[in-house]
A and B are shown apart, each in its own frame.
Chain A
Amino acid sequence: MYGYAGKILYVDLAVQDYKIMKLQQAIAINFLGGSALAAKIIFDEGKMDSDPLSPENLLIFATGPLTGTPVPASGRYAVCARSPLTGIWGESHAGGFFGPELKKAGFDAIVVKGRAERSIYLYIRDEEVEFKSAEGLWGEDALETHRIVKRELGDSKVRVAAIGPAGEKLVKFASVINEDGIAGRTGMGAVMGSKNLKAIAVRGSGKIPLALERECLEYAREVNKQLYRSPAGQRLRQYGTGAGIVGYYELGNLPLKNFSIGIWDDEEVSKITGQQITERILERISPCTNCVIACKRRVHVKEGVYKCLRGRGPDYETLGMLGSNLLNSDLYSIVKANELCDRLGIDTISTGAVIAFAMEAYERGLLTRNDTDGLELQWGNASMIVRLVEMIGRREGKLANLLAEGVRQASNFLGGGSEEFAVHVKGLEVPAHDGRAFFDHALSFATMNRGGCHLAWVHHPARGTLYPEIGITEKRDRFTSEGSGLIVKKMQDLMELMDALIICKYTLSAGLTITQLLKFLNLTTGWNIGLEEFVKAGERSFNLKRALNIIWGMTSDQDTLPKRLLKPLNGGTAGHVPKINVMLKEYYKVRGWTAEGAPTRHKLKELGLGFILSKTSKLGIGA
C-alpha cells in the first residue's frame, strides 16, 4: 500500500509479547492515519470502561500517510489514549524525527496494552522488537533517557520517545518527549508511566513507498519554495512562534494573570517575545523533518542566574502560559522552566495553568503558606515559578501533589468558589489563547474533543487566512457569534485531516492550500480521492471521537467555557464576550447532532460510522 508502511505493531507489555498486523486498506482510506486511525483502533479494540491509568487502556503511537515522505513538514506523529487528565479523548502530536523513523522501521502505528511487571523500554529495529529493562533508567529525566538509551544501544541515530519522572509519578499532564518534539497535552506520558514503559527507541532502514515518487518530490520542492518565501513562513523562521506575543497581546488573546486582566505593561510584554529570543539567546534554528518553516529554536543563556543554560527555546504557548499568564516577564526563567518541563516530562501549557490557578487561590486566601511548603505564590515571582515547576514534575510536597492532578481536580479539592477561576474545558487547561479575543475560538474550545484545545485554529479566518475550497471565503469579524457554528465545524474537520495525514499546521499559516494537501495525499498513495471525500474524512474522525467521549460519560453541559472566560475585560477584547449558548445551538445543528449534542443515526450513516450504533444504543447517539 503506497504511502504507508502497511503494518501495525501490537505490544502486550504484561506478557512481553508482540504481533504484527496488516493495516487494512479500507481502514486507511476512511481514517487515513494519525489520531483518526488511533480513534478507530480504540473504538474497535479498546475496553470502553477501562480506567485511563489501567493496563487495559490502549496507548497508540500513530503516523499518517504523509509521515516521512518528501511532503513538507511531515515529520510528526500522534500519541493517543483515553486521557487520565480529562477522562475523555486524549491526543497529542509531536514533531522532530521519531515519526518518520517509526515508519521506516516498518510500522504505521504501535498499539500498546498491558502493564510491564518491571519498568522496560521497547527497542524496535526494522520489525524486530525487543523488551529491554529500564530499571536503570527509572527516575532519569527524559533528555538524559534519550542519551542513555542511545549509548546503551550503541546507535546515535536511534530515535527515542521517553517519559521523565512526571510520567513515572503519574502527573496527570505528563508528556512524551522525543528529540526536538514534545507530545505535551492530555497526559499521554502518565499513560505510558502507568504501563511501566519508560521509552520507545526506533530505528528503521526501510523506504516508504510512494505511488508517484518523482512527481511527489517535484511537487514538494515547488511547495517548499512557496512556504519558504511566504511572509508567515519567513517570520516563523526568523522569530519562532513567539513572534506572535505582542500582536496577540494587543488583540486581547494573550492570557494575563490567569485570564483575569486585559492590560499589562507594554514593556513587560515586549521582554518575552520571539524577537527577544532571536536577539538575545538564539543559538540556532532547529527544524523538524522536511521543514523549511523551521519555527523551533535552540537557545543559550549567557548571563544571569541561568547562565550556561542550553536547550529548546520556549514557543508561543510556553511564553504565554509560563510568562504573561503568571505576570512573569523574566525571559530566562521561562527558558529554565521550559527546560525543566522537558526534562521532567510535563506539558508547559497545563503547568502554567495550574501555577496560575494556585497563585490566584493564594491571593484569595484559599491557599496559605501552610499549604504551599513555604512558597510565596506571588504573581511574577520568577524563581518561585521555576521551583514550583520542578516540584510539580516530581510531585514534591503537598501543593505540588495537588497541582499535579490538573486544574479541575485541584479546584474540586479546594472548593471555596475556586471554580470561578479554574480555567479549563472538560479538565484540559485552556492554552494561551483567550476566546474573548476570537469568538470562533471560544466555541471551538467548548467543543473540541480533547477539551480546552486551540488546535482547530478557528481564528485563522478572522486573521485573514481563508480556505475557499471549503467555503471559507471571507474574513471573519472576530467578535461575531453569528455563523460561528459553521466556521468552527469546517475548521475543526480540516484540522482533523491535518492530524490524520499527519502534517504540521504551520504549513497552513505559510499558505499551503487544501487543494495542495489533497494533491500530496493522492501523489503519495496513488488514490484518486476528490475534495468532498477528503473533507468528509475529517468530519468522520471528529464524530468518531465525539462518540467515544459520550461512551466515556461526557455530556453536552460540558460543552461550555470556564466562567472566567465569560466575563468582560478591558484591553484588546474591549469588553466583548461570546454568546456561547447561541453559538452552540447553531453548531449542533450544522454538525447534524441532536439538541443534546449527540451525532444522529443519519449523520453516522452518512459518514460511514454506522458501526458506532452497536455500542451506543442507550447513550443518545444515533437518535
Chain B
Amino acid sequence: MIVVNVKMILDSSAPRKIKVTLRDGATLGELLSEITNALSVKLHEHFLYVLNGLIVDVRHDSKIILNDGVNIIIMPPLVGG
C-alpha cells in the first residue's frame, strides 16, 4: 500500500490536508476518484493539480503511477497576474 499526502485548497474554507491510502501501483486517476468519493468533492479538470511541485494535466496525465509519500496539491484555477 502507498500513502499520498493531499492538500486541497478550497475557496470557502481553510486548506484541507488528508492522507489517502491506495494500492501499490495506483495511478493519479485512481487517487482523484478516491478523493471524490471519500470527500464528496467535485474535482474539475480545470483545477490545478500539483504533484510533488510540478503542475500536471489530469486530462493527459491521469495514468501517472504514484509513489509512496508523494504530495499533491489541488486548487481552483489560478488567477492574479
A: which residues have CB within 8 A of B? 231-232, 235-236, 238-239, 241-248, 250-251, 266-267, 270, 274-275, 295, 315-317, 431-433, 454-455, 457, 462-464, 475, 477-479, 506, 509, 572-574, 576
Q: Which of B15, B48, B55, B80 has the most CB of A within 10 A?
A: B80
B9 interface neighbour in A232, A250, A463, Cβ under 8 Å: A250
User: Known: A250-B50, A478-B55. Contact between A316 and B81, CB under 8 A?
Assistant: yes
CB distance from A48 to the nearest CB of B (A): 32
Select which of B54, B57, B76 is within 8 A of A247 by beta carbon: B76
B28 beta carbon closer than 8 Å to chain A: no
Given known A235-B76, A270-B14, A275-B12, contact A464–B57 (CB-CB < 8 A) = yes
Which of chain B's residues 36-81 have a Cβ closer than 8 Å to chain A?
44, 46, 48, 50, 53-55, 57, 73, 75-81
In the assembled complex, the Cα of A251 lies from the Cα of B55 at a distance in Å of: 9
Residues of B within 8 A of A479 (CB): 53-54
User: In whole angstroms, how far apart are the Cα atoms of A91 and B79 in the complex?
Assistant: 23
B66: min CB distance to chain A, Å? 18
Tell me, in angstroms, the Cα distance from A11 to B73 when the chains sit together: 55
Size class of the contact patch on chain B: 20 to 34
Q: Which 4 A-B pairs have the closest CB atoms?
A: A244-B80, A316-B80, A241-B80, A247-B75
Indicate if the CB atoms of B81 and A275 lie closer than 8 Å.
Answer: no
Chain A residues lying within 8 Å of B12, measured Cβ to Cβ, are 275
**Chain B residues packing against A (C-beta within 8 Å):** 7, 9, 11-12, 14-15, 44, 46, 48, 50, 53-55, 57, 73, 75-81
Q: A463-B55, A478-B55 are in contact. Are A266 and B15 (CB under 8 A)?
A: yes
* B78 contacts across to A, CB distance below 8 A: 244, 247-248, 463
Q: Bound state CA distance, A549 and B54, in angstroms? A: 36
Beyond A316-B80, A464-B55, 16 additional contacts (C-beta under 8 Å) are A231-B77, A235-B76, A243-B76, A243-B79, A244-B78, A244-B80, A245-B80, A246-B9, A250-B73, A267-B14, A432-B81, A433-B81, A463-B48, A463-B77, A509-B79, A572-B53
Minimum CB–CB distance from A330 to chain B (whole Å) comes to 18
Interface centre among B12, B15, B77 (most CB of A within 10 A): B77
B80's nearest neighbour on chain A, judged by CB, is A244
CB distance from B33 to the nearest CB of A (A): 21
Cross-chain contact A574 with B53 (CB below 8 angstroms):
yes
Most buried by B among A232, A239, A247, A251: A247
- A462, B55: Cβ atoms closer than 8 Å: yes
Measured CA separation A150–B6 after assembly (Å): 55
User: In whole angstroms, how far apart are the Cα atoms of A573 and B79 in the complex?
Assistant: 19
Distance in angstroms between the alpha carbons of A562 and B7 in the assembled complex: 32
| B46 to chain A: closest residue by CB | A231
Q: Out of B50, B55, B77, which one reaches A475, CB within 8 Å?
A: B55
**Is B76 within 8 A of A231, CB to CB?**
yes
Interface of A is mostly: helix
Q: Which residues of B contact A574 (CB under 8 A)?
A: 53
A241–B81 CB distance below 8 A: yes
Q: How far is the CB of A474 from chain B (nearest CB, A)?
A: 9
Chain A residues positioned under 8 Å from B57 (CB to CB) = 464, 475
Across-interface contacts of B44 in A (CB, < 8 A): 231
Chain A residues with Cβ below 8 Å from B55 are 251, 462-464, 475, 478
A239 close to B11 (CB less than 8 A) = yes
Nearest to B7 among chain A residues (CB) is: A250
CB closest residue in chain B, given A317:
B81
Are A246 and B75 in contact, with the CB atoms below 8 A? yes
Query: What is the minimal beta-carbon distance from A513 to any residue of chain B, in angstroms?
Result: 16
Closest to B47 in A: A231
Minimum Cβ distance to chain A for residue B41 (Å): 15
Chain B residues with Cβ under 8 A from A243's Cβ?
11, 76, 79-80
Q: A266-B15, A475-B55 are in contact. Are A235 and B79 (CB under 8 A)?
A: yes
**B13 nearest CB across to chain A (Å):** 9
CA distance A457 to B57 in the complex (A): 19
Q: Are A477 and B15 in contact (CB under 8 A)?
A: no
Measured between C-beta atoms, what is the minimum distance from B77 to chain A in Å? 5
A553 to chain B, nearest CB (A): 29
In the bound complex, CA of A479 to CA of B50 (Å): 13
In the complex, chain A residues whose CB is within 8 Å of the CB of B9: 246-247, 250
Interface CB pairs A-B, < 8 A, 20: A231-B44, A231-B76, A231-B77, A236-B79, A239-B11, A241-B79, A243-B11, A243-B80, A247-B76, A250-B9, A250-B75, A251-B53, A270-B14, A275-B12, A316-B79, A317-B81, A431-B81, A432-B81, A464-B55, A478-B54
User: What residues of chain B lie closer than 8 Å to A231, measured between beta carbons?
Assistant: 44, 46, 76-77
Report the nearest B residue to A241, measured CB to CB.
B80
Give the one of A251, A315, A574 with max B CB within 10 A: A251
Contacts of A242 in B (CB 8 A): 80
Nearest-CB residue, chain A, relative to B52: A574
Residues of chain B lying within 8 A (CB to CB) of residue A475: 55, 57
Query: In the complex, what distance in Å separates the CA atom of A316 from the CA atom of B75?
Result: 17
- Distance of A509 Cα from B55 Cα, bound (Å): 17
Contacts of B77 in A (CB 8 A): 231-232, 235, 463, 509
Residues of chain B within 8 A of A236, CB atoms compared: 79
Q: What is the minimal beta-carbon distance from A254 to any residue of chain B, in angstroms?
A: 9
Pair A270/B15 contact, Cβ less than 8 Å:
yes
Q: What is the CA–CA distance of A242 and B78 in the complex, to the nearest angstrom?
A: 10
A455 to B81 Cα, complex, angstroms: 7
Contact A248 B80 (CB under 8 A): yes
Residue of A nearest to B60 (CB): A475
A455 to B80, CA, bound (A): 11
Nearest Cβ in chain A — how far from B56, in angstroms? 9
Instruction: Output the nearest chain A residue to B76 by Cβ-Cβ distance.
Output: A235
Across the interface, do A477 and B76 meet the contact criterion of CB distance under 8 Å?
no
Which residues of A have CB within 8 Å of B73?
250
- CB nearest to A293 among chain B residues: B79
Q: What are the residues of chain B within 8 A of A315 when measuring CB–CB?
A: 80
| Whole-angstrom distance between the Cβ of B59 and the nearest chain A Cβ | 9
Min CB distance A295 to B, Å, is 8
